[in-house]
Amino acid sequence: KEQVITNDKKADNDRGLEKEVERTEIGETKPGINLQGYCANNGCLASKAKLPVWVNIGFDKIAFVSGKTWFICPDCKKSTVESIVRAVLYNSEHSISAVADDVMCVTDNNYQCSYVIKSGLSYELKASKIRQHAQSIEDLRERSEQAMNSIEMRNLMTELQKYEITVVKPPSLKGNERLLEKIQSDYGGDFNQVFDIGRCTILCDNPTKLQTAVAVMKKADQFNLIVSEDKDFFDKKSKTHHRFHNIKLFVPKHDVYIEMQATLKNFTTLDGYTVIENPKLSHSFYEMIRAWKPKDHMEEELKQASDETLTKINDIICEWIDEREIKRVANRYKAHSELGILKPPQLREVDKEHVNSKQQHVPLQLTAFVYDQLCTFDPVKMKGRAVYVVLLQFFKTHIMGDANPASCADVASILKQSRSQELEEDEAMSQALETYIPLQANHFPYVDGDDHCNAQHAAYDCYQHVMDLLEEKKEEEKKERKKRRGKKEEEKNQQQQQQQQQQQQQHVIILQGKSGSGKSLFCRHLEDTLWKTYDNNSAKAIPVYISLPKCYDKYDEPHIIHQALQMKQINKDMIDTIRERASFVFILDGFDEIFDRYNSSINANVNANANANKERHFYKRFHLHEWNAKVIITCRSHVLNDNDNNDNNDNNDGNNNNDDNIKHIMIGSNETTTTTTTTKTTPMIYLWPFSKEQMHGYIDKFVKMNKTNQFNAYSDWTTEQYETTLQSYPSLHKMVEEPFLLRLILTQQRRGRRRRQRRRHFTQNQISKVQVYEAFHEQWIDMHAQSICSKLAELRIQINPDKIKWTLEKYCQDLGFEMFVQGNQ
């Protein structure tokens, strides 16, 4: 077998074929002095395999005698390398001398010079970083300009252009102001470290062309030029991940270095040659943070995050990550017109001139730059969209902060999550939404017992009417803005107050109804529907349901919206920013429940100070005019009509009755005269009772839901059975027209040992509201008492259920009485 192989090798040689022996080296050459030799340590794997190793000295001056001087082995880390056979000086200005019979010395600045080292001779090597040789900045600029226009450089450019390689020579050298700033910040004032005063950019169609262009430049000696430094950041990442091949050419005729940067056309951000959207973004970002010296720990973290963001942007532009990953990032893109980017609090009340002044520190300028980019950049290509996503993430995390929303879409997301949490905690409302039946309404209140009067005013769908009003207001706002743009400045000032009043009225819808008519349920249903149509589009108004009893503070009325948003997990420091950017539909529910406190605060102010502000209109008292919002407010009907609600107000004008005063609280002025003498009125909507069709639809939904959730023991009942049972109680006929009471009546099917007591409630033909509420109260107590007993049982605590029920019932009675007393006070 061995003979056959030998014959095969010989046959190959006879045919002119010969295998090349692979040369293996340990380590690599680096800038400065590099010595190659052999390790003498028997325990070293490189020594055992007799492999040459590279010893990196760097920029230094050394003297040695080959075979007598020991160097540290890069493999075993011991001083066992003595047989130096080769020296390579790389990317440096260097000199090497050998002492034999006479002294031989060579000085050079070629990017890579290799010398054979002979055993027994004494050598001296010196290597330093390449530097310009100018006497002043002006001298350096003059030399650079002459070199750029030299015949040597023109010949090199012509040679490259023959092979369809684009050579971009800037029309002028780097600006003096920018140059001085860079010399001072990057090089401590040493202008001889600057090489890009004169720079050419080489743009290639593909990596093969790039490789060819670099190879041609490395043969610059044929053009009387010297390649003094070669840095490959195309296949190996630079600090910023910008992808290019950098070559420094020495022009001996003018004793100056100039820079050649080669990259692909797909990667360049050069104006006029780039295919990248918003090419100045990455370069401007780099220039802003390049010389930044953080002052404290917070700035240090922001600087680090900025550096990481720049590398991510360049990873996308220069394709350090594959196309599939870039596409995955780009798929998360949403246009700023949809997001509604919020202005950072740092920029509030700060003008652009102040931000860009040299006295300002980098964080503020960086904040303004990123915010401006996010508000103006509209990418359509994959890379541009991916870059936008990366920049937005930086903005969210490091400028706005994770705890704060960065856009209207974030605000909407927080509020939507808060709404879900509220409904999870309000089980009754969640279940009521499942059985929601569209409510009917009218511009006139329903008159009990007067069918003729009610028939004259046909009812309409409340939801659709409210939606139509919201859309009308949106169109009116557009027309009003257009009209105002066409007016002169003096006219605007003269009519400002009238326009504000008109805007207030256009923005308010008042919804009235009896207790239990479904006002709160309608509000939640409206909120739910508006959320479904929102679709994270900042051009649409964000719906916000606000329970006035939970948020109202008579000592801080102007900030009631602030208080409500904070309760919904919006940071108070962001509220003013959100107010300036986002639009809302505020659904204020339960004004009747705060009316006494609201009215008493007016009286207290007036009694304390005769000159106190007597403003009564809630819109102004709550400072709603400061918000870009449409307002829907609910109130129980009697609050607007019952004269007894304001008996204690002794400060009213004698010509106005209490009814007018209360209406002014809700409505303000009923009329506003505009320049076109158009009368604007606040829409007033009255909820009407359920019709027979609505009752049937509600019961049908209740039956379906009861089969799943089993609210009572009659989960197998049909809609017809419920309706037949209700018809047997004439006194319930009016009650079941109210959604809340209808639900209570349907759920009052008692279980267990109180069924006999339930029959005492419902066996009589005459059933009052008190009996319905009493039955509901008993069932509520039963349900929560059972829940408490179950939780205690899990903790292995035994307790008498009747005792729990008695205690809970007593607590509820005491609490209700105390609330009643406080309400009267």
* Ordered domains of the chain (ranges, CATH): 32-128 (no CATH), 137-275 (3.30.460.10), 285-402 (no CATH), 414-476+501-687 (no CATH), 748-825 (no CATH)
In this prediction, residue 7 carries a pLDDT of 47
- pLDDT at position 12 is 53
| Nearest in space to 81 (alpha carbons), one of 31, 47, 33 | 47
pLDDT of 657 reads 46
Mean pLDDT of 729-734: 70
232 pLDDT tier (thresholds 50, 70, 90): very high
Question: Averaged over 463-490, what is the pLDDT?
Answer: 66
CB neighbour list of residue 713: distance below 8 Å, 6 or more residues apart: 749, 750, 751
Q: Which residues pair with 324 in a beta bridge?
A: none
pLDDT one-digit tens code per residue, 345-354:
888 877 777 7
Residue 234 burial (CB count, 10 A): 20
Strand arrangement of the beta sheet that strand 684-687 belongs to: 460-461, 440-442, 684-687, 508-513, 629-636, 584-589, 542-547
Q: CA gyration radius for the chain? A: 42
- Does 800 or 494 have the greater pLDDT score? 800
CB 314 within 8 A of CB 243: yes
Q: Give the tokens for residue 511.
A: 């919804």
The chain-wide mean pLDDT, for the chain, equals: 82
Question: Is the predicted pLDDT of residue 677 greater than 60, yes or no?
Answer: no
Q: How would residue 680 be classed by pLDDT, with cut points 50, 70 and 90?
A: low
Confidence (pLDDT) at 480: 56
pLDDT, mean of residues 134-140:
93
Determine how β-strand 93-99 pairs with β-strand 122-128. Answer: antiparallel
How far apart are alpha carbons 44 and 570 in whole angstroms?
65
Q: What is the pLDDT of residue 754?
A: 43
Tokens standing for residue 90: 């790389």
Nearest CA to 678 out of 506, 509, 494 is that of 506
Which residue do the tokens 């008190």 mark? 770
| The predicted structure's pLDDT at residue 311 | 96
Report pLDDT for 182: 85
Cβ partners under 8 Å of residue 169, min gap 6: 148, 157, 200
For residue 379, what pLDDT is reported?
Answer: 96
If one counts every other C-beta atom within 10 angstroms of the C-beta of residue 708, the result is 9
Whether the per-residue pLDDT at 80 is higher than 60: the answer is yes
Higher pLDDT, 476 or 121: 121
Q: Which residue has the tokens 């995955």?
A: 328
**pLDDT score at 776:** 76
Percentage of the chain beyond pLDDT 70 is 81
pLDDT over threshold 90, residue 115: yes
Count of other CB atoms within 10 angstroms of residue 245:
21
Is the pLDDT higher at 448 or at 153?
Answer: 153
What tokens were used for 348? 């509030």
Residue showing tokens 């349900």: 783
* Residue 301 vs residue 674, higher pLDDT: 301
Q: Are 714 and 749 in contact (CB under 8 A)?
A: yes
| 269/246 Cα distance (integer angstroms) | 16
Over 80: is that where the pLDDT of 639 sits? no
Q: Does the structure show a pLDDT above 70 at 75?
A: yes
Q: What is the pLDDT of residues 534-575, one digit of tens each?
A: 876 667 899 999 999 999 998 889 999 999 999 999 999 899
Is the pLDDT at 821 greater than 90, yes or no?
Answer: no
Cα–Cα dist 196/194, whole Å: 6
- DSSP bridge pairs for 32: 90
* Mean pLDDT value of segment 269-298: 91
Residue 409: CB atoms within 10 A of its CB come to: 22
User: What's the pLDDT at 751?
Assistant: 41
Range 556-571 burial, b when 16+ CB lie within 10 A, else e: ebebbbbbbbeebebb
**Is the sign of the CA dihedral 149, 153, 157, 158 positive or negative?**
positive
pLDDT digits (tens, 9 = 90+) for 413-436: 999 999 999 999 888 888 888 888
DSSP 8-state secondary structure symbol assigned to residue 401: I
Tell me the backbone φ, ψ of residue 604, rounded to 5 degrees. Answer: -65, -40
Q: Which of 275, 268, 279 is nearest to 245 (CA)?
A: 268
The pLDDT assigned to 649 comes to 40
Q: What does the alpha-carbon distance between residue 796 and residue 802 come to, in Å, rounded to a whole number?
A: 18
Q: What is d(CA 755, CA 763) in angstroms, rounded to the nearest whole number?
A: 12
For residue 109, is pLDDT > 90? yes
Alpha-carbon distances, residue 694 vs 417, 465, 737 (angstroms) = 31, 18, 9
What is the predicted pLDDT for the residue at 486?
Answer: 52
